[in-house]
Amino acid sequence: MSNKEKHWEKTKGLMILTLAIWFFFGYVVFMFGSSLNTASFLGYPLAYYMCAQGSIIAFVILIFWFANRQEKIDEEFGFTEREGDD
Amino acid sequence: MFKGKFIDNLPKIYGLYTGGFLVFIILMAIAEQAGMTAKTIGILFVAFTVCIYAIIGYLSRTVQVDAYYVAGRQVPTVFNGMATAADWMSGASFVAMAGGIYFGGYTYMAFLIGWTGGYVLVSSLLAPYLRKFGCYTVPDFIGTRYGGNLARFCAVVVLALASFTYVTAQINATGTIASRALGIPFELGVWVGLVSILLCSMLGGMRAVTWTQVAQYIVLIIAYLIPIFWMSNKNGMGFFPHFMLGEEVARLGELEAQFGLVKNAAADVKAAGVPGGLKSIALPHAGVPDGAMAAWKFISLVICMMVGTASLPHILMRYFTTPSVKAARKSVAWSLFFIALLYTSAPMLATLSKLQLMDPNLATGIIGKPIADVMQIEWVNSWMNVKQAFIADFNGDGVLQLNEWFMRGDVVVLATPEVAGLPYVISGLVAAGGMAAAMSTADGLILAIANALSHDVYYKIIDPKADVRKRLLVARALLVIIGAAGAYIASMRITSILGAVAWAFDFAMSGLFFPLILGVWWKRATRQGAIAGMITGLASGTAYLIYVYPKFMGNPAWLGIDHLRFGIIGASVCLVVMVVVSLMTPEPDSATQKMVDEVRVPSGKTILGKQH
């Protein structure tokens, strides 16, 4: 496999992992909304909390994490951008 | 004091600006103590902020193509995040979202998840690759990746339809706020709003819109957060409301049980003469409805809003302005961070505002009080006069029940400072914030449409030999024409703010989502496939909307997919057709495949040149 292909394999892997985490916080949690709501967090019913803050905070952290990981992958294969590339 | 380049001085400039705005708020508060009328304060707030945006718009004027279309590709990550957040958070987010939660509770909060989670798709699937491509507009990518004017043109049609549905709602919101703050009729307010919007974008295109959007974000976030913190602290409900309102949410549950959540019969509401669009509280605040269908309704709405987010051109084009691919990715993260500041606050605002109204232990509570007394309250009176609030004594006992109090969802945010008894300076601030939110989104949308028409239709299809001066002249003329068309339709008041906003997401996902992602992630996707996908996706989605929307054919929704969720039909059809047709047609030539390979690598030159 060429350098480019390996880079793309790793990039794809990271994309799938990112979307799996996204799917959990965006969908799986809310499939069980009514049973989650019996538990509580910070005094809020849990499903309400995930909707109001929990999942949103998870998305923010997820994107920062994704951006850092992708930068590492680019560095590993020597695809880091230089100043004045375009 | 400002040495070096403009870009290097950004933190200083916007720091000063924020300080200046806070000083302005304090001056207004002093003026209010000195006896300035509420009306003058409202006018000053809106006029002052709009003037600042106009000055920024004027200072950012440009005669260069890449500055006009992509702000010269030098917007730093964090500032692009703020600009995207302002671009994103519309009049609907600012004005209608807390109101939606106020009446719809948990079920409405699907919008919060959908309107934030979509950014994960943007960052992992699209933004970095589109930035590497180096396009000016979203159809520019479709046109170059798939080749040919027809593909480009189809993308322009989807973009124009989705963005135009959205922009009328924004101009409508600027009109509502301008008319209320300035005391002029709504129809005139719409045109005042339009002029303010054009002042920000006319001369400088994307460059001017970027720097005004940053300024607008600062105003809108200050205007949203101050009332929440103020109310929470004033009533001793918690120093940091976001993490300390658990008891208040529980208290709302108690009050709901005490007063009873009664859904009024439509006939009773009509007989009592309740003005259209006003609602009473009939759904639990934090309770989750039982059953698989309720969960599916929640999830299907989340799907539509997330996928729609990743297809809306006015958002995607913001990531064309960053200095690098790396910066585009980081910038998506910052965008969502700035958006989350407001979105995680909306449920808190709804909680506090509802409690102010419902809790009989608070001085501001009105439920359970004699109707004659409630009618004496000043804010109740002023909102009833403009038909935004209503009282119907269904059981005739002279006491206000929960189901007898009606209010329009859109006014909850605007009315909350008055309801909670905050000084008028806060109401003026909130009006300025709402105006900033609606203006910034309208600017992004009008610019997206005008740029697609001027760059993709005029320059790429009609007159490829046009010189720079002529291209920018056409771009500006289109900006005015599209804005005027939007304002004209808004002044006719066709749909409520929310219906139209959700539709824009559905239109965009029906026609653009799969052609965009498959363009990057599937080399085998062909021109014929993309064209067939865009046409059938948009057509089937639109047909389903007409089939199911109560004001058109009004048929029962299939599997709970109603008019807010028609994108699920459109996008599925688009995917299937695009894949089948692509596999039936010969694979793309080697030049195209090479181009896709190049897009996937962050380093190196962009696919399209700096000036094209």
Question: Minimal CA–CA distance to B59: which of B254, B251, B207, B264?
Answer: B207
Q: For residue B329, which residues of chain A lie inside 8 Å, CB to CB? A: 66-67, 70-71
Q: Please give the residue of chain A at the shortest CA–CA distance from B134.
A: A86
Report whether pLDDT(B333) > 60: yes
Q: For residue A11, which residues of chain B lie inside 8 Å, CB to CB? A: 600
Greater pLDDT, B296 or A83: B296
What confidence category does residue B219 fall into, taking pLDDT thresholds of 50, 70 and 90? Answer: very high
Do residue B73 and residue A86 have CB atoms under 8 angstroms apart?
yes
Do residue A66 and residue B124 have CB atoms under 8 angstroms apart?
yes
Do residue A67 and residue B288 have CB atoms under 8 angstroms apart?
no
Report whether pLDDT(A25) > 60: yes
What confidence category does residue B494 fall into, taking pLDDT thresholds of 50, 70 and 90? Answer: low
Q: At what angle do helices B527-548 and B513-521 cross, to 10 degrees?
A: 150
* Ordered alpha helix ranges (H), B386-467: 412-419, 424-451
> In the prediction, which pLDDT does B563 show?
83
Report whether pLDDT(B509) > 60: yes
Q: Which of B106-120, B159-173, B241-255 has the lowest mean pLDDT?
A: B241-255
| Residues B541-596: tens digit of each pLDDT | 999 988 888 777 777 878 888 888 999 999 999 999 999 999 999 999 999 999 99
* Ordered alpha helix ranges (H), B95-148: 97-104, 110-121, 127-133, 138-146
Q: Please give the residue of chain B at the shortest CA–CA distance from A13.
A: B124
What confidence category does residue B146 fall into, taking pLDDT thresholds of 50, 70 and 90? Answer: very high
Do residue B325 and residue A81 have CB atoms under 8 angstroms apart?
yes
Q: B36 in the Ramachandran plot: left (φ > 0), alpha (ψ -120 to 50) or beta?
A: beta
Looking at the domain B9-377+379-393+395-599, which fold is it?
A: Sodium/glucose cotransporter (1.20.1730)
> In the prediction, which pLDDT does A53 show?
92
Structure tokens at A84: 């004045």
Q: For residue B605, which residues of chain A lie inside 8 Å, CB to CB? A: 85-86
Residue type, B498: L
Do residue B324 and residue A53 have CB atoms under 8 angstroms apart?
no
Shortest Cα–Cα distance, A5 to chain B (Å): 9
Residue type, A34: S
Do residue A33 and residue B73 have CB atoms under 8 angstroms apart?
no
> In the prediction, which pLDDT does B495 show?
54
Closest CB from B302, B306, B603 relative to A81 = B603
Interchain CB contacts (distance < 8 Å): A and B: 156
Q: Which of A22-31, B236-245, B462-471 has the lowest mean pLDDT?
A: B236-245
Residues 6+ apart with CB under 8 A from B488: none
* C-beta separation of B209 from B447 below 8 A: yes
Q: For residue A55, which residues of chain B lie inside 8 Å, CB to CB? A: 113, 116-117
Shortest Cα–Cα distance, B186 to chain A (Å): 34
Give the sheet arrangement for strand B278-279, strand by strand.
Answer: B278-279, B405-408, B389-391
Whole-number Å distance between alpha carbons of B234 and B417: 12
Q: Quick check: helix, strand or coil at residue A45?
A: strand
Whose tokens are 């939007």? That residue is B486
| Residues B336-369: tens digit of each pLDDT | 999 999 999 999 998 888 888 888 888 888 888 8
DSSP notation for B274-304: PPTTEE---S-SSPPPPSHHHHHHHHHHHHH
Structure tokens at A49: 């909390």
Do residue A19 and residue B287 have CB atoms under 8 angstroms apart?
no
* C-beta separation of B401 from B281 below 8 A: no
Question: Minimal CA–CA distance to B438: which of B372, B500, B528, B526?
Answer: B500
Greater pLDDT, B290 or B328: B328
Shortest Cα–Cα distance, A42 to chain B (Å): 6
Residues 6+ apart with CB under 8 A from B500: B165, B166, B168, B169, B494
Do residue A56 and residue B333 have CB atoms under 8 angstroms apart?
no
Structure tokens at B354: 């509802």
> ipTM of the assembly?
0.94
Q: For residue B72, which residues of chain A lie inside 8 Å, CB to CB? A: none
Closest CB from B109, B128, B606 relative to A52 = B109
What confidence category does residue A32 fall into, taking pLDDT thresholds of 50, 70 and 90? Answer: confident
Report whether pLDDT(B70) > 60: yes
Q: Please give the residue of chain B at the shortest CA–CA distance from A68.
A: B330
Question: Minimal CA–CA distance to B435: which of B54, B104, B24, B82?
Answer: B54
* C-beta separation of B316 from A65 below 8 A: no
Q: What is the CA radius of gyration of chain B?
A: 24
CA B403 to chain centre: 30
Shortest Cα–Cα distance, B243 to chain A (Å): 7
* C-beta separation of B392 from B269 below 8 A: yes
Whole-number Å distance between alpha carbons of B227 and B426: 7
Whole-number Å distance between alpha carbons of B302 and B300: 5
Q: B300 in the Ramachandran plot: left (φ > 0), alpha (ψ -120 to 50) or beta?
A: alpha
Report whether pLDDT(B405) > 90: no
Report whether pLDDT(B316) > 80: yes
**In chain B, % of residues over pLDDT 90:** 38
Do residue A80 and residue B249 have CB atoms under 8 angstroms apart?
no
The mean pLDDT value for B138-158 works out to 92
Do residue B106 and residue A40 have CB atoms under 8 angstroms apart?
no
The mean pLDDT value for B124-130 works out to 94
What confidence category does residue A83 fall into, taking pLDDT thresholds of 50, 70 and 90? Answer: low
Q: Please give the residue of chain B at the shortest CA–CA distance from A83.
A: B324
The mean pLDDT value for B172-181 works out to 81
Do residue B295 and residue A64 have CB atoms under 8 angstroms apart?
no
- pLDDT averaged over every residue in chain B: 87
* C-beta separation of B102 from B353 below 8 A: yes
Q: Which of B28-32, B61-65, B588-592 has the lowest mean pLDDT?
A: B61-65
Element (H, E) at B42: helix B38-59
| Residues B264-309: tens digit of each pLDDT | 888 888 887 787 778 888 888 887 888 888 889 999 999 999 999 9
* C-beta separation of B56 from B287 below 8 A: no
> In the prediction, which pLDDT does B500 show?
65
* C-beta separation of A39 from B288 below 8 A: no
Report whether pLDDT(B499) > 60: no
Question: Minimal CA–CA distance to A52: which of B118, B82, B111?
Answer: B111
Greater pLDDT, B475 or B239: B475
Whole-number Å distance between alpha carbons of B91 and A70: 34
> In the prediction, which pLDDT does B4 show?
67
Shortest Cα–Cα distance, B340 to chain A (Å): 7
Structure tokens at B540: 């089937």
> In the prediction, which pLDDT does B551 show?
73
Residues 6+ apart with CB under 8 A from B223: B429, B430, B432, B433, B434, B436
Residues 6+ apart with CB under 8 A from B76: B7, B10, B322, B323, B327
Q: For residue B294, which residues of chain A lie inside 8 Å, CB to CB? A: 34
Residues 6+ apart with CB under 8 A from B561: B300, B544, B548, B568, B569
Secondary structure of B425-443 as H, E, C letters: HHHHHHHHHHHHHHHHHHH
Best to test chain A binding among B66, B74, B89, B116 (most A CBs inside 10 Å): B116
> In the prediction, which pLDDT does B383 show?
83
Q: Where are the domains of chain B?
A: 9-377+379-393+395-599
Q: How many CB atoms lie within 10 A of CB B376?
A: 9
Element (H, E) at B552: none
Do residue A48 and residue B600 have CB atoms under 8 angstroms apart?
no
Q: Quick check: helix, strand or coil at residue A28?
A: helix
Report whether pLDDT(B183) > 90: no
Whole-number Å distance between alpha carbons of B510 and B498: 19
Q: Please give the residue of chain B at the shortest CA–CA distance from A49.
A: B286
B430-433: which pairs have CB atoms within 8 A and are 24 or more residues apart?
Answer: B430/B223, B430/B224, B430/B227, B431/B42, B431/B45, B431/B46, B431/B177, B431/B180, B431/B181, B432/B45, B432/B46, B432/B48, B432/B49, B432/B181, B432/B219, B432/B223, B433/B94, B433/B219, B433/B220, B433/B221, B433/B222, B433/B223, B433/B224
Do residue B121 and residue A45 have CB atoms under 8 angstroms apart?
no
Report whether pLDDT(B408) > 90: no
Report whether pLDDT(B215) > 90: yes
Q: For residue A74, which residues of chain B lie inside 8 Å, CB to CB? A: 326, 602-603
CA B491 to chain centre: 19
Do residue B602 and residue A80 have CB atoms under 8 angstroms apart?
yes
